[in-house]
Structure 1
Amino acid sequence: MGQPAAAAAARRQHLSPRALARLKATLRADDPTDEIGAAWGIKEQLRGLLTSRSLADAHEAKMRLGVSVLAADMPETYRLWTTITAWWEEIEVLAVTGVTNARTEAANTSIKQIERTGRGYRNPANYRTRVPLASAAQTTA
């Protein structure tokens, strides 16, 4: 069993047998077209792809995901596939290094929030001072 398959199996183990049975029963009862079940399965495959730790595993997971996207035949899964394809180089970097830009994106979101709630900062110097102060407050909290 390769890494992506092992990772998928490990995630499934987080569901108790009772929870997994309840999920399957709910999908059988409330998902007559199997679209929700297909989307859930593709989401799980995407999680496996994003936790790949080698290029070989990532490529294998990508191919499995592509087959599932074709089988699901839903606009949402095709959009997901387009996004995966567009970001493939970055996903390969993630697979090899395990590094993302999540911390940078979080900092940018915090700065944008400060700007949105800045109410009354007419002086750019005051605004520039507010950003590191808010960042320092978050770091120490």
Structure 2
Amino acid sequence: MYELSELLVDVLGVTELGAEFPHRVTYHPTCHGLRMLGLGDKPLRLLRSVAGIRLVELDAAEQCCGFGGTFALKNPDVSTAMLADKARHVLDTDAEVLAAADNSCLAHIAGGLTRMRTGVRAMHYAEILATTGGTR
């Protein structure tokens, strides 16, 4: 079994999918993707090939968002503080969209950004790779 970026980049040798997404995007490399799966920059390499995308670096990108499975339930105060840090870094990018490779991180960060009424959308990077014409 492969994570999508592993399958595309390592197995199939694909880094260009013909996607078009004319938006300012920042990317959160998830703990699971970085530390457990060893994805490195594969998702970013795919995102960089998207036409029209304005990919902006996320400060402290490799810091955890604070979700971590049951971590958020067992340590709600710490989780909330970590989420606040991540949200602040996302907002500092002026991105319209936060992309990531893990739906639990996306749900956690999107929840925080929504509660803050930031207008920043959270999307799995595969959604961006599947977009043409910037219609999403």
Same fold by TM (over 0.5)?
Answer: no
Q: TM-score, normalized by length of structure 2?
A: 0.33
Larger radius of gyration between Structure 1 and Structure 2: 1
Q: Which fold has the larger relative contact order, with Cα–Cα distance below 8 Å and residues 6 or more apart in sequence?
A: 2
TM-score by length of 1: 0.32
